[in-house]
Structure 1
Amino acid sequence: MANSTVVAKLLIVDDHPLFRQGVRWALSYEPAIQIVGETANGEEALRWLAQVDPSLEPNVVLVDLNLPGMSGLELTRQIRRQYASIAVVMLSMHENDEAAFNALRAGAAAYRSKDIKPAALADIIRRVARGEYVINDVLLEEPRIAGRILSQFRSLPEVQTLSGELGMPIFTPLSEREIEVLERIAAGSSNKEIADALGISTQTVKNHISSILRKLSLNDRTQAVIFALRRGWIETPQEIQPGSAEE
């Protein structure tokens, strides 16, 4: 597919020169990644973005959470506000629920700790460059943090799709069983837990998830949950009732 050939043009924002050099070295041989610049803080990053040649404009910015001066969270908010086409991958010394939640609220597409392996970081960078939203692997497996995130989106004043279109929470292309599966994903349930709750096999759960993503033209579970939540198709985790065990 065309999206698989998208080149990630990366700007690195970190106040440690040695770390920036290490990222450059680690990613230098990775396919479909081009490092177009680096800055030491948020203010410098915004100035760089404002004057960069269009041919070098990044589609991904790697941001340190704990930047001096303007924080990584504030920089992420500014980037998402001013450059909607740029995705942010946020890195931190420590990976924890609270920081991940704040990163998501700020608009980050991914959040990981700095001890991530280079190959895994490269994969995340390529994925967010293609428009994927990969913060989910950490968040939706934790029911407590998932509930906070989804309640936050539930409280939005307008029902809105991920692309910014206003939607009507009336029609859904999903089946009742797919809605049940999606609600349990929102509650942080694993595939096995969903299978046990609904009396179906884990393979059937996987098939339902694949069908959901295909119908909604989305890339991952988090996108599907947020999309459905904003359109009123599913309830927040605390409102989910036990489902039937029928196939």
Structure 2
Amino acid sequence: MTADLIRVLVADDHPSVRAGVRTLLDMTGGIQVIAEVDTSDDAIRMARELQPDVVMMDLRMPGLGGVEATRTVVQESPHIAVLCFTMVEDSDAVFAAIRAGARGYLLKESGSAELARAVQAVAKGEFITSPAIAKRISSFFEASTRTGGALEAFPVLTAREREILDLIAQGRNNAYLARHLMLSPKTVRNHISNIFAKLHVADRAEAIVRAREAGLGRTSHTTGEQR
């Protein structure tokens, strides 16, 4: 992403939706829609060719489907942010998309200002959802806590984020995470920021409590050097 322009690929099989999104985003300073596609297969192909900063992905499209397209785009080009923009709001779809690597999940009923902010946020590496989806995720965590759920309490996390949360729950600091996982400090910070946002926790201490309640962080053999 350049400092001045966020390049967006819109993937949706409804022409009216694509036209509306293009009009809205092109009117927002610093954002440009560079292409539109109407199948998930074309979303993968055009993301590979054009390397946009953000892919706005509908979940229900011809081809592989939005979740698999999201997974493929993120695996091939981890720097591309996928923002799911869809009418689908059931919990299974939400968690599947986010596990596949989506950095955001927004319902099509969202307002124009919310959509523009979401594109800007995911382009900067943040994780974002609409208030309705955030409430659904919070409700799931609360229910899981009441019923004693363990790892199932974190279906919203990717495998890498769960690994990082486990290490955080062991008391490891960011420097250790970067060395151990061979990641840059910035990437570690981005992962942690996403974890906090997805779990709706305010800070590291709250994340550790939540993780340990779910059974993570129990294999710690921390030394001063490791931390």
TM-score bucket (shorter structure): 0.5 to 0.7
Q: Secondary structure at the match of 2:211?
A: coil
Spell out, residue by residue over 1:206-231, the C-alpha distance to the aligned partner (whole angstroms, 9 max, x if none): xxxxxxxxxx6754632676x969x9
Q: 1:184 matched to which residue of 2?
A: none
Shift of 1:236: 5.5
Match of 1:106 among 70, 92, 100: 100
Identity of aligned residues (%): 27
2:100 matched to 1:124? no
Q: Is the counterpart of residue 160 in structure 1 residue 136 in structure 2?
A: no
Instruction: Map residues 70-219 of structure 1 onto 2, 5 A cutoff.
Output: 70-135=64-129, 138=134, 139-144=136-141, 147=144, 148-150=152-154, 160-161=163-164, 170-172=170-172, 219=193
Shift of 1:107: 1.1
Do the aligned partners of 2:54 and 2:82 also contact (CA within 8 Å) in 1?
Answer: yes
- Size of the alignment, in residue pairs? 187
* Root mean square deviation of aligned Cα: 3.9
Q: Which of 202, 211, 218 is the aligned partner of 1:235?
A: 211
What's the TM-score, normalizing by structure 2? 0.66
Structure with greater Cα Rg: 1
> Which ranges of structure 1 fall in alignment gaps of 5 or more residues?
175-215, 241-247
Given that 1:63 and 1:91 are in contact with CA atoms closer than 8 Å, whether structure 2 keeps it comes out as yes
Q: CA deviation at 1:108?
A: 0.9
Q: Which runs of 5+ in 2 are unaligned?
A: 145-151, 175-188, 217-227
TM-score, normalised to structure 1, is: 0.61
Q: Following the alignment from structure 1 to structure 2, what is the Cα–Cα distance between the partners of residues 136 and 153? A: 17
Q: Distance between the aligned counterparts of 1:219 and 1:152, measured in 2?
A: 14
Change (3 A) 1:132 1:160: same
| Aligned residues of 2:169 and 2:212 also touching (Cα < 8 A) | no
